Structure 1
Amino acid sequence: MNTKQFINSVILIVLHTFFWVGVYFFYTYFLGYGSKNTAYVNNFALYLMPVTIIMSYFFLYVLIPKYLIAKKHGLFVLYTVYTFIVSFCLIMLSILYGIVFSTDLTINDSKPLTKTILFIILGIYMVVLVVIAIGLVLSSYKSTLKNEDLKTKFLETKLQLKEQELRFLKMQIQPHFLFNTLNTIYGLAIQKHENAPEMILKLSNLLDYILYQVDKPKVFLMDEIAHLEDYISLEKMRFHDTLKINFIKNIQAENVDVSPMLLIPFVENAFKHGVIVNNFFTINIDLKVTETKLYFTIENNYNKEKENIQGGIGLENSRKRLEMLYPEKHSLEIIGKDNIFKIILEINF
């Protein structure tokens, strides 16, 4: 037993002691009100204490927790009836012993007790009922505290699992995005592109973003857009004149924070799964941001016979991240129709 448990046990014993001392004084007042036989009343009250205490604790620690709280109501009623029958017999014996062993303390021409046997029995049962009521209140309070504690632990565990899942998704997104970016650089290196220094600088910025900035819970929207444009620039170098990209931005609130790598996976997916049609690789991007909402659409050509419109790891992870980061505050629609692949994302801040 540690110190805290010991202190709690001592406090509990003291509280119980004070309660039963109070019950004893109640008996002396209840039984002897108007009587001059103080010694007789005090002695008689002592004989009523054991049966009162035994019956009270039997209800408090046996019948209530094992049957009433456990919702075994039939057994609780049955054992309660048995308890009252047995306790009635014990009360009558206590009264008998109290009368017999207190006789020598009587005073001539003075009534020792001012209450009849019926009132004495009712007084004992009243004390037991008070103990039962207190026990039920305390049990309900403890149950509430326990439920709140369990609820808190559940929420903490749920939050920890959510954070772990988010970290896992980020760990998947980072190498996935990096792998595709390096493939782009590889293609440019084979071509011995003259803009290699600029290409490496943009790659450095992208690597800094996906390796360090992504660990932050939020980043500035303008930073997300800047790195999005760096990625598009790299792809432009790879596709040369065949890339036809329309990026329309309508930023009405530049101080908005968003989750890192919120939009890049969708753009990356368009480059990865898009196809060239009529000698052009066409991607249309529309981004509108206000103080309360982000609206993002991206569409590209794709081969519906070869590609799954739900996409691969990137889109699946993005969908899960959105569900955790913006629960009930976003909508993500993926549409594949007439060889046009379109993603519509709306987020409410």
Structure 2
Amino acid sequence: MSYFKLKWFKNTSSIIPTKYHILFWFSYFIFNVIRWGSYFDDYWYSLKSNLVEFPLHIVIVYFNIYYLIPKYILTRKFKRYILFLLLSLFILYSIRTGLNFLLVTKNIWPEAEGSQQAFTFNHIVAVILGELYVVALVSAIKLGFDWIYEKRRAEEFQKIQLRTELDLLKSQIQPHFFFNTLNNLYALTLEKSDVAPEVVLKLSDIMQYILYDVKEPFINLYDEINYIQNYLDLEKLRYGDRVSSKIKITGDIENIKVPPLLFLPFIENCFKHGSKENELIEVEIAFEVLKDNMLKFKVENNFNEFYKSNKKHGIGIKNVKRRLELLFNNKFQLKTTIKKNNYLVSLKIPIQ
């Protein structure tokens, strides 16, 4: 696009296709010819006068919406806008009156009573008001299109921002999880544990799920539960008989979709803060399909009081809360409670 076109179009929010411009002006021209032809009972005169005036209408309208408004209204220079608009209207009045006198009729104001002269106050006001009507009509249409365009663009931008932040948050979960698991694997290798190879295999399966299977914003709940089971198996390899876990499913989950990797941080915390050394780690996980089109997730584990005073926190839970806010706005419920020596997480989310 040339510099001239850039200069004239850079401040417009939307570009209306040319065919709509042509359709609008053609329809408006026909309407005006019929309207004034009927008024004067002289359609030939109406056709000639509109052929003279319509190119001038088009010039002043586009000059206003593509130059004056972007240059002065959008920059809040209202006095200059009024000055240049009035000056443009007076120039147009002079050209229109001259052309009508030379090409159409010597009576420059046939709708007025009696013989009227050009460049009188009443005639100038009447013509300028007529032009202002056209300018205001088309400007309102253009600004309406711009408003719709900007609204849609803002909505799309918000969606892009949301998706970008969600992708970032999801990507943060993966290194967070791998970091913890590799630390565990490192501890097992130091102990020369026989279960270290099995840990590597389980970790490989989980990496395949995260890196290759999780590509959509929502995945089947069934797949996510299988992933959670793999994680529990991984922790059982690490802790051995110290881990007691079970998953309970209530309702039909076949067609339910959930955000990937949403529940894992809560389950990770069961092992990270679950119990003191050499004590049993008990984890109970439940998924329940509720009647109000909600999915309820619960995880309960025996609680280590040391967790209260531990000031070092991971990014997992904070990450999940932010994801929930972005995905579901205020349509989710997250509660955490401590009962005796048990830590309970309850999460309700809308069913997708």
Alpha-carbon separation, structure 1, partners of 2:196 and 2:133: 83
Alpha-carbon separation, structure 2, partners of 1:308 and 1:215: 34
Q: Does 1:116 align with 2:118?
A: no
1:223-272 superposed Cα distances (whole Å, 9 cap, x missing partner): 11111111111212222232233433324222212221121121012211
3-state DSSP of counterpart to 1:333: strand
Q: 1:79 to 1:116 in 2, by over 3 A?
A: farther
Q: Which runs of 5+ in 1 are unaligned?
A: 104-111
Alpha-carbon separation, structure 1, partners of 2:198 and 2:158: 44
Alpha-carbon separation, structure 2, partners of 1:195 and 1:81: 87
Identify the residue that residue 344 of structure 1 maps to in structure 2.
346
Q: 1:326 to 1:308 in 2, by over 3 A?
A: farther
Q: Which runs of 5+ in 2 are unaligned?
A: 9-16
Mean Cα deviation higher: 168-177 or 130-139:
130-139
Identify the residue that residue 204 of structure 1 maps to in structure 2.
204
Q: 1:250 to 1:308 in 2, by over 3 A?
A: farther
Q: 1:243 to 1:144 in 2, by over 3 A?
A: same
Q: Does 1:223 align with 2:223?
A: yes
Q: TM-score, normalised by structure 1?
A: 0.66
Q: Does 1:280 align with 2:280?
A: yes
Alpha-carbon separation, structure 1, partners of 2:248 and 2:129: 76
Q: Which amino acid in 2 is paired with 1:262?
A: L
Identify the residue that residue 322 of structure 2 maps to in structure 1.
320
Identify the residue that residue 308 of structure 2 maps to in structure 1.
305
Alpha-carbon separation, structure 2, partners of 1:55 and 1:287: 68
Q: Which amino acid in 1 is paired with 2:345?
A: I
Alpha-carbon distance, 1:213 to partner: 2.3
Q: Contact 2:242–2:278 at 8 Å: present in 1 too? A: no
Q: 1:58 to 1:218 in 2, by over 3 A?
A: closer
1:187-221 superposed Cα distances (whole Å, 9 cap, x missing partner): 33344444455433322211111222233322221
3-state DSSP of counterpart to 2:309: coil
Q: Which amino acid in 2 is paired with 1:212?
A: Y
Aligned residues: 312
Alpha-carbon distance, 1:278 to partner: 9.1
Alpha-carbon distance, 1:297 to partner: 1.3
Q: Pairwise CA RMSD of aligned residues?
A: 5.1
Q: 1:335 to 1:154 in 2, by over 3 A?
A: same
Q: 1:55 to 1:347 in 2, by over 3 A?
A: closer
Q: 1:128 to 1:222 in 2, by over 3 A?
A: same
- Show the 5 A alignment for 1:138-287: 138-276=138-276, 279-287=279-287
Alpha-carbon separation, structure 1, partners of 2:323 and 2:258: 12
Q: Contact 1:330–1:345 at 8 Å: present in 2 too? A: yes
Identify the residue that residue 106 of structure 1 maps to in structure 2.
none
Alpha-carbon separation, structure 2, partners of 1:337 and 1:307: 19
Alpha-carbon separation, structure 2, partners of 1:133 and 1:203: 72
Q: Contact 2:198–2:237 at 8 Å: present in 1 too? A: no
1:6-57 superposed Cα distances (whole Å, 9 cap, x missing partner): 996xx78x959x96xx78x959x85x98xxxx9xx99xx99xx99xx99998
Q: Does 1:296 align with 2:297?
A: yes
Alpha-carbon distance, 1:348 to partner: 1.2
Q: TM-score, normalised by structure 2?
A: 0.66
Q: Contact 1:218–1:257 at 8 Å: present in 2 too? A: yes
3-state DSSP of counterpart to 1:138: helix
Alpha-carbon separation, structure 2, partners of 1:113 and 1:252: 78
Alpha-carbon distance, 1:345 to partner: 0.7
1:111-140 superposed Cα distances (whole Å, 9 cap, x missing partner): x99941479987875554343223222111
